[in-house]
Structure 1
Amino acid sequence: MKHHNITKKLFAFTLAEVLITLGIIGIVAAMTMPALIANYQERVIVSQLKKVYSTLSQAVKMAEAEYGDISEWPVKDGDMNSTDTIYNHYIKPYLNITKECKNSEECFSSYNLQPLHYYTFCLNDGSMVSLDLNNKNEDPDSLYPSYGIKNVTLRNFIDFTVDVNGDKKPNKPGEDIFRFFVTQKGLIPLGADQDAGTTKNRCKRPQTGFYCTAYMLTKY
């Protein structure tokens, strides 16, 4: 019987081939990493937004269980006494607040709030919240659709603006700052009754970034 020797050939990469391969890997990483990082950061923001939404929504529900529908609450725009009452008796007891500021941006320094009668406060999860009261003379049928909300009849409502990650950047509406109204439908994210395409487009506009709050809540 003849025995055949099987020769095993070992192949090695040259230095030039290794450098070329590493260069290609570096290029691919440079192209994909920013998108991966941005996607991860957005997912973190959405997770924080969902947590704040749940926290505020539960607070509103507990207040309604205690005091009745919001239509029966003393919501008066431009009245600090009314703001005091709503904040201290209807909202504050149902939240874990670490810091509060009356009619001041001190607890919401990441965004330039309008000089109205409001409270700003910090929750124990690190988010910052502004509470303002609105009493609009406009027809609700035209007022709320402009904010992406339908089927609301109240002229008086509570306006929450939230920075979900506190002072951390980007501090921009639609990116980490979002907005909710409290109506007879409960806590409603702006853009709740708009189609996804409309809210997605508005997310990219500085003037209407708030209106994508609902879109971000359902993105992941």
Structure 2
Amino acid sequence: MSKKGFTLAEVLITLSIIGVVAALTVPTLVRNYEDAANAAKAKKVYSEIANAWKLYLSDNGGSPVGTFSTRSGLQETFLKKYFKYTILTSYGDGTALTAKALNGGAPLSIDTGITTSDGIFIGIYYAEGACKPNGCATLIVDLNGKSKGPNRFGYDIYSIYLMPDGAFAYKDNQQNIENTTCLKPNQNPKWDEWYNGGNGCFSKPA
């Protein structure tokens, strides 16, 4: 009894079908994996920053007021002291992070910060030693560092508030901007006018 195998044409057709299915499904699977990994890493980084800020408050008598007055001052007293870092980013040295907005708006340049020993960039966008009216500082965190993309808010870049009583992700602040910045386009046109596109997507990759 002779055995009939697959013809070359049948094999090629089968491989083509497998290729099409893979092309349609693999990118989605990879993106879902990357999103989950980013979310987990974002929460871990937030926890580390929150704990470091808590220690900073304790070391300064419970209040950060007056312990710094500029971004470089916060870099010196907080980032360099409470984190292990390998690269220092300072104003004018040409190594700033260019953070893209989810909504396609103008990118934001972060020129003061550190790159930690595990490759995370922690930058300082805003710093106010008096801790008012917008808190003490706003940190911009790039989970995979400045040199690896996409360098976009809501994906690998997130913002964290440093307040007199602790560190908070954007979704925890009173402005409650998470739902107005995690969509494209944003639900609230106000946030389309600034770099905030994706800024409130902490631990919720867009």
Structure-2-length-normalised TM-score: 0.71
Whole-angstrom distance in 1 between the partners of 2:203 and 2:36: 15
Q: Does 1:210 align with 2:199?
A: yes
Partner of 2:136: 157
Q: Which region of structure 1 is more displaced relative to structure 2, 35-44 or 58-67? A: 35-44
- Which AA in structure 1 matches 2:156? D
Which consecutive residues of structure 2, in runs of 5 or more, have no partner in the other structure?
A: 100-106, 187-191
Residues 160 and 13 (structure 1 numbering): CA distance in 2 closer, same or farther, change over 3 Å? same
Q: CA offset at residue 174 of structure 1?
A: 1.3
CA contact (8 A) 2:68 2:77 kept: no
Contact in 2 for aligned 1:203/1:210 (Cα 8 Å): no
Q: What amino acid is the match of 1:179?
A: S
CA contact (8 A) 1:190 1:214 kept: no
What does residue 42 of structure 2 align with? 49
Partner of 1:66: 59
Q: Any idea what SS the aligned residue of 2:22 has?
A: helix
1:28 offset after TM fit, Å? 0.7
Matches within 5 A, 1:7-18: 12-18=5-11
The residue number in structure 2 matching 1:176 is 156
The structure showing larger relative contact order (alpha-carbon pairs under 8 Å, at least 6 residues apart) is 2
Tell me, yes or no, if the aligned pair for 2:75 and 2:113 is still in contact at 8 Å: no
Aligned partner (choices 73, 83, 89) of residue 101 of structure 1: 89
Change (3 A) 1:129 1:203: farther
Task: Using the aligned pairs only, state the percent identity.
Answer: 27
Amino acid at match of 1:98: T
What number of residue pairs does the alignment pair up? Answer: 187
SS of match in other structure, 1:168: coil
Alpha-carbon deviation of 1:102?
A: 2.9
Q: Deviations over 1:29-82 (max 9, x none)?
A: 111111122222323333432332232222111111211334534454xxx4xx
CA distance 1:110–1:132, change in 2 (3 Å): closer
Structure with the bigger percentage of helix: 1
Please tell me whether residue 39 in structure 1 is matched to residue 28 in structure 2: no
How well do the aligned residues superpose, as a CA RMSD in angstroms?
Answer: 3.4
Amino acid at match of 2:39: V
| One-letter code aligned to 1:209 | G
Change in CA separation of 1:127 and 1:105 when aligned onto 2, cut-off 3 Å: farther
| Letter in structure 1 aligned against 2:168 | I
- After TM superposition, give the deviation of residue 114 of structure 1 in Å: 5.0
CA deviation vs aligned residue, 1:144-180 (integer Å, no higher than 9, x gap): xxxxxxxxx8543211011111110111111211111
Partner residue of 2:113? 120
Computing the radius of gyration over CA atoms, which structure comes out larger, 1 or 2? 1
Using the size of structure 1 for normalisation, the TM-score is 0.67
State how far apart, in whole Å, the 2-side matches of 1:29 and 1:98 are. 40
User: 5+ unaligned residues in a row in structure 1: which ranges?
Assistant: 1-7, 136-152
Give how far 1:203 is off: 8.8
- Does the 8 Å CA contact 2:161/2:169 hold for their aligned counterparts? yes
